[in-house]
Amino acid sequence: MRYNPKKHHLPIFEASGILPVDKPAGWTSFDVVNFVRSRFNIPKVGHCGTLDPAATGLLILVLNKFTSFSDKLSGDDKCYQATLRLGVETTSYDLDGEIVAEKELSGITESLVRETLAAFTGEQMQLPPMVSAVKVGGKKLYELARKGVEVEREARPVVISQIDVSRIALPDVDFTMTCSKGTYVRTLCHDIGAKLGCGGVLTALRRIRSGSFTLDKAITVDALKNMEQDALADHVNALLVGFSKGWK
């Protein structure tokens, strides 16, 4: 059923501002937007930077008049915690896709892994995965992928400014990375696996920062489920003070 604010049992939520949410696994970014809009009767809600359903972490929502900041905030650099699994390739570059290859890790050492990840820092061209929301010829790639159609994609410029490896327990590698808008961590894991010659997929992803917003400022979906409309307005207004001071 289409959302109609005038037929909601709550009055229209009129506060404008920014709401950082800790997105749970299994929810799409739109699921979070739709939940907040419907739960609190907010006429306009947008998000700044899509997270895949399996990913968790910081999703910036903009409410009412602040939806005008969506493009600006979406363009901010992002920081992620991720886990790469070597020796596997899938159609989607993560565990949601079908396995297309499995390879041994003979010759793959910790020093080689660290050296390879470090080589992916800096400006580079990255090819979007077929299972993504990028449009080609007016069609989203994931729509074509569902039909078994693979099309040529144009590589896009991205910047990976930092990669820090925190744990290597082969076949798994945990790392934290900072990157520009539009960077696909799934593609990075695929490309690292290709460089090493053994294949690689993303098995876990958590966004911990977007621009000057950090995950510790985010509210969980469970907390929102138990929050009253007035409490949300107070929460958003308090965050707005921080935003106006440069989020310090």
Beta strands in 111-181 (DSSP E): 122-126, 135-136, 139-140, 156-169, 172-179
- pTM (2 d.p.): 0.88
Name the pairing type of β-strands 200-210 and 56-63: parallel
pLDDT tens digits, 73-82: 999 999 999 9
68 backbone dihedrals φ, ψ, rounded to 5°? -70, -15
CA distance 190 to 85: 10
Residue 46 has pLDDT above 90, yes or no: yes
Query: Which residues have a catalytic role annotated?
Result: 52
* Average pLDDT across the chain, whole number: 89
pLDDT tens digits, 182-206: 999 999 999 999 999 999 999 999 9
Q: How far apart are the first and last CA of the chain?
A: 41
Residue 246 has pLDDT above 90, yes or no: no
Percent of the chain residues past pLDDT 70, beyond the cut: 85
Burial class (CB in 10 A: 0-12, 13-18, 19+), 246: exposed
Name the pairing type of β-strands 88-90 and 56-63: unpaired
Mapping DSSP to helix (H, G, I), strand (E, B) and coil, where does residue 81 land? strand
CA distance 36 to 43: 10
Q: Mind giving me the DSSP string for 211-248?
A: TTEEGGG-EEHHHHHT--HHHHHHHHHHHHHHHHTT--
* Arithmetic mean of pLDDT, 31-51: 95
Non-local (6+) Cβ contacts of 166 within 8 A are: 174, 175, 176
Out of 123-132, 141-150, 160-169, which region has the weakest mean confidence (pLDDT)?
Answer: 141-150
What pLDDT score was predicted for residue 142?
A: 47
Burial class (CB in 10 A: 0-12, 13-18, 19+), 136: middle
